[in-house]
């Protein structure tokens, strides 16, 4: 039995802090820690709710980094401004314009410095003389170009900034902003000691390098998606110890086999199993709970609760940014709905997406593949524009694969009548 008392919500489920049953994975945590020591930029990537943020919080102290959460409307100057704000600067728009015609920023930061003053503060004896000292605040005022990484570096150096910069939800940024920041990262690497930790929902290992080849050997990537059955079993066992409970082996096996390697689903199913048995905190005596049927019921229940969100994703994504003759977003969803869960897990190659769409699209073989590629490349921006969070699908432009990055969606899709979903999109006749 553990020495301290813990609540179920602190151990299992989703919380703001790192769950108490966090499990280290050498190929993930070890790689991340090793990368931190090399003063390079780091990309943490993977499907949604697979532990990207927890990895950073577990391996770093809160005072070691600042955090910037991205917005879907931000341009590069907005991202740079947000970094300066989190670093401690006060920012306002200047009346001066940069070479590109945009306005500069006037930033004011504060630093603590020691300066000698007369008749104030602390008296210290030095070499037979007494001098009065006081800690005063030194205001640093700068005018800079928010699009110039060199100016951002200069501003951070002025205040002696030495922390990591954690960029959360990088995938929500517009594509152009992502590309521009990839170029800025090279400047940060060459002109400063500042290291970024970029977190994004995608399955492409070298996305930033694809944006800017100069980042090769300057960016390390850490994939958090690889949760083995052994890892997931360890997560459950750690929670069992902290709460002094014992899940039936059949329950654990069913959860692990049925969760589609989603640590979030494992955590949530265990949390609900505890609460259903009126277990809300560490028990005085060990209690055994759970059955295989209960595990199936809980997983289905958790996934079913997301039905409204997944249905909204299908309909909103299909509508696209605006009405067009080709309706390419709808045909991307059509491809997803016609593909098996196994195919979606592996990722669907561009040529296969093209084949499926051309077979049914009104333009048939005359449909330009460029139109399909463009729609796939804009899938992240479209989901962000439509408020689909977390995102469900992502396109790997480097390897030309369409991925589902929400493991719950795959489980939900396996339980649905595909014909009904296609009928809602007025594609049922086409698919028959």
The per-residue pLDDT for range 407-431, each reduced to its tens digit, is 999 999 999 999 999 999 988 655 4
- Burial of 61: CB neighbours in 10 Å, binned 0-12, 13-18, 19+: exposed
pLDDT given at position 16: 79
Give rounded-to-5 percent helix, strand, coil for the chain.
50, 20, 30
pTM value is 0.89
The per-residue pLDDT for range 196-225, each reduced to its tens digit, is 999 999 999 899 999 999 999 999 999 999
pLDDT given at position 96: 73
Sequence length of the chain is 432
**Helix, strand, or coil here: 404?**
strand
**Helix, strand, or coil here: 89?**
coil
- Taking CA atoms, 378 is separated from 96, 174, 383, 393, 394, in Å, by 35, 9, 9, 11, 9
The per-residue pLDDT for range 111-151, each reduced to its tens digit, is 543 333 333 333 333 333 344 444 445 566 788 999 999 99
Cα 60 to the center of its chain, rounded Å:
17
The per-residue pLDDT for range 343-397, each reduced to its tens digit, is 998 999 999 999 999 999 999 999 999 999 999 999 999 999 999 999 999 999 9
The per-residue pLDDT for range 289-338, each reduced to its tens digit, is 999 999 999 999 999 999 999 999 999 999 999 999 999 999 999 999 99
The per-residue pLDDT for range 171-188, each reduced to its tens digit, is 999 999 999 999 999 999
Tokens at residue 11, please?
């151990």
pLDDT given at position 1: 65
As a whole number of angstroms, the distance between CA 81 and CA 68 comes to 10
As a whole number of angstroms, the distance between CA 368 and CA 386 comes to 26
Beta carbons within 10 angstroms of residue 59's beta carbon: 17
The per-residue pLDDT for range 10-34, each reduced to its tens digit, is 999 777 789 999 999 999 999 999 9
Kindly report whether the peptide bond that precedes residue 390 is cis, defined as omega within 30 degrees of 0.
Answer: yes
The per-residue pLDDT for range 74-93, each reduced to its tens digit, is 999 999 999 999 999 998 87
pLDDT given at position 3: 74
Percent share of the chain, pLDDT over 90? 82
pLDDT interval class at 102 (50, 70, 90): confident
As a whole number of angstroms, the distance between CA 64 and CA 34 comes to 16
- Taking CA atoms, 429 is separated from 91, 118, 335, 366, 421, in Å, by 57, 88, 15, 21, 12
pLDDT interval class at 101 (50, 70, 90): low
Q: How far apart are the first and last CA of the chain?
A: 59
pLDDT given at position 132: 46
Q: What domains does the chain contain, in order, with CATH numbers?
A: 26-223 (3.40.50.300), 227-304 (1.10.8), 307-431 (no CATH)
Among residues 79, 84, 65, the alpha carbon closest in space to that of 156 is found at 84
> Cα torsion for 297, 302, 308, 312, to the nearest 10°?
-120
As a whole number of angstroms, the distance between CA 11 and CA 269 comes to 12
pLDDT given at position 97: 66
pLDDT over 90 at 258, yes or no: yes
pLDDT given at position 417: 95
The per-residue pLDDT for range 221-244, each reduced to its tens digit, is 999 999 999 999 999 999 999 999
pLDDT given at position 111: 52
């Amino acid at each position: 039995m553990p020495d301290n008392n813990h609540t179920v919500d602190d151990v299992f489920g989703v919380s703001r802090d790192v769950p108490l049953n966090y499990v280290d994975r050498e190929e993930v945590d070890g790689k991340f820690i090793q990368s931190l020591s090399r003063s390079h930029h780091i990309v943490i990537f993977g499907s949604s709710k697979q532990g990207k943020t927890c990895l950073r919080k577990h391996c770093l102290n809160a005072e070691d980094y600042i955090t910037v959460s991205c917005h879907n409307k931000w341009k590069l100057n907005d991202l740079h401004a947000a970094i300066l704000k989190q670093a401690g600067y006060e920012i306002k728009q200047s009346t001066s314009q940069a070479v590109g015609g945009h306005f500069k920023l006037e930033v004011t930061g504060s630093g603590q410095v020691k300066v000698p003053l007369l008749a104030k503060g602390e008296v210290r004896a030095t070499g037979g003389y007494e001098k009065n000292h006081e800690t005063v605040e030194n205001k640093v005022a700068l005018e800079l170009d928010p699009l110039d990484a060199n100016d951002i570096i200069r501003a951070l150096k002025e205040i002696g900034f030495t922390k990591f910069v954690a960029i959360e939800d990088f995938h929500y940024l517009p594509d152009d902003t992502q590309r521009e920041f990839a170029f800025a990262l090279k400047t940060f690497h060459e002109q400063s000691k500042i290291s970024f930790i970029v977190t994004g929902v995608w399955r492409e290992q070298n996305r930033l390098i694809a944006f800017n080849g100069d980042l090769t050997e300057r960016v390390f990537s850490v994939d958090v998606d690889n949760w083995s059955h052994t890892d997931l079993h360890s997560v459950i066992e750690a929670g069992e110890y902290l709460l002094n409970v014992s899940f039936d082996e059949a329950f654990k096996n069913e959860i692990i086999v049925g969760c589609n390697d989603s640590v979030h689903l494992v955590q949530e199913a265990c949390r609900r199993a505890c609460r259903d048995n009126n277990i809300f905190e560490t028990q005085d005596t060990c209690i055994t709970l759970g059955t295989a049927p209960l595990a199936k019921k809980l997983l289905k229940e958790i996934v079913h609760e997301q039905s409204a969100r997944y249905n909204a994703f299908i309909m909103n994504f299909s509508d696209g940014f605006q009405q067009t003759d080709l309706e390419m977003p709808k045909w991307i969803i059509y491809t997803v709905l016609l593909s098996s869960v196994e195919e979606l897990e592996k990722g669907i190659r561009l040529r296969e997406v093209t084949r499926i769409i051309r077979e049914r699209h009104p333009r048939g073989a005359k449909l330009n593949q460029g139109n399909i590629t463009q729609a796939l490349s804009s899938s992240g921006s479209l989901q962000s524009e439509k408020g689909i969070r977390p995102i469900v699908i992502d396109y790997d432009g480097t390897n030309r694969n369409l991925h589902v990055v929400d493991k719950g969606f795959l489980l939900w899709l396996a339980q649905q009548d595909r014909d009904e979903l296609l009928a809602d999109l007025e594609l049922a006749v086409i698919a028959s």
